[in-house]
Amino acid sequence: MTLDDLGSRIIILGPSNSGKSTLAEAIARARGLEAIHLDQLHHLPGTDWVQRPREEFVRLHEAAIAGDRWVMDGNYSSLLPSRLARATGVIRLELPTAVSLFRYARRCWFERERAGGLAGGRDSVKWGMIHHIAVTTRANRKRASLAFDAMRLPKVRLEAPAALTGFYRANGLSRQP
């Protein structure tokens, strides 16, 4: 399946730090879609990942999915049904936990600006996030994979860094702006 098969409203799902936001930006540039990063809607800009009030996040989410041409990264499973109702395709990244942990450390220590980051904020290493990646996400992988299998939209599953790199190449995408 190619990127063209996924349509003009694409959801990107997967574990934290698996490359969802970078892929969303690459697709947005290549296809003229709006890149929407759910972490930016869920958290207040200029903070160290302080969450918005739930009602505000839901309102921002619903406004974002009302658009006609977007690529949206992030899980937020409680709002996934309304997102799926509007989506035309889904990509699921299922990269190994070790890759996500490495990317998290790299993000926190070396990247000042990044796709999907909070405006005015900077990532810092947090034990809660390490636990989320290494324990919580690992425990949820099977459930998330089964949910993805049940989705009735055109979809792509990318299970290794090489598969993700191959998807970039096959669809003429670039990680660099």
Using CB atoms within 10 Å of the CB of residue 54, give its burial: 0 to 12 exposed, 13 to 18 middle, 19+ buried.
exposed
CATH number of the domain at 158, please.
3.40.50.300
Rounded to two decimals, the pTM is 0.89
E strand or H helix that includes residue 92: strand 89-93
Q: What is the DSSP letter of 32?
A: T
Number of domains in the chain: 1
Whether 176 is in a domain gets the answer: no
For residue 155, the cross-strand partners are: 90
User: What is the tens place of the pLDDT at every residue in 31-67?
Assistant: 999 999 999 999 998 887 889 999 999 999 999 999 9
* Residue 117: band (very low, low, confident or very high) from pLDDT cuts 50, 70, 90: low
Q: Which of 80-84, 88-92, 107-111 has the lowest mean pLDDT?
A: 107-111
Structural domain for 126, as ranges: 3-170
| pLDDT top residue among 150 and 131 | 150
